[in-house]
Amino acid sequence: MTEKKKNLDSYIPFQLPSAEKYRIGIVVSEWNDHITDSLLKVAREALLEQGILEENIVVRHVPGSFELPTGAAHLIQQTPLDGVICIGCIIQGETRHFEFIAHATAEGIMQLNLSQKVPVIFSVLTCDTMQQAEDRSGGKMGNKGIEGAISCLKMIALDHTV
C-alpha cells in the first residue's frame, strides 16, 4: 500500500506565525527560467499571503543552481534578512553533470545553514525530465515554490520560539 505524499500546497495559513515583520531573500536560478519563474511567483504569493510586505522580499538572480549558495551568501552579507529561499531546477541530462551540480548545490546550501544565523531553504527541483519539472512548478504535482516559502517561515518561527 502506498502512502499519500504530503504536499505543502495545501497548508493552512493560520497555522503559521505572523510574518509581517520578516524580510525574506529569494535567490533564483536563471537556468530553466520558465520553471524557476513559476516557482518564484508562487513563493512570493505565499509570502505576501502570510503578511510579508512586498518591499521586504528581496529577489536576486544567479546564472544557475550551482551559484545559488554563493548568491545566498552575498545576499545575507549585504542585506539584513530573516531567511533566504534558494530556487532552482536541475534536470538530468545524458552525463553525470546533473549529479555533481545537484550534490554541490545541496551541500552549499546545507553549509550556509550551519554557518549563518538565518535559515537558507533548498527549493531546488532535481528532476529526471522536463515534464517532471513542469509537473512540480504548476502542473499536476502543484507548485513546489509554496513549499520553499512555507519552510522558510517555519524555520524562522523555530528560531524565534527558542
Domain boundaries, the chain: 33-160
* pLDDT band at 85; cut points 50, 70, 90: very high
Q: What percent of the chain has pLDDT over 90?
A: 72
The CATH number of 33-160 is 3.40.50.960
Would you name the residues annotated as active-site residues?
97
b (16+ CB within 10 A) / e for 118-147: bbbbbbbbbbeeeebbbbbbbeebbbbbbb
- Grid coordinates representing 111? 553549509
Nearest-CA neighbor of 86 among 152, 4, 42? 152
Q: Is the pLDDT reported for residue 142 higher than 70?
A: yes
| pLDDT of 2 | 39
pTM as predicted: 0.89
DSSP 3-state assignment of 21?
coil
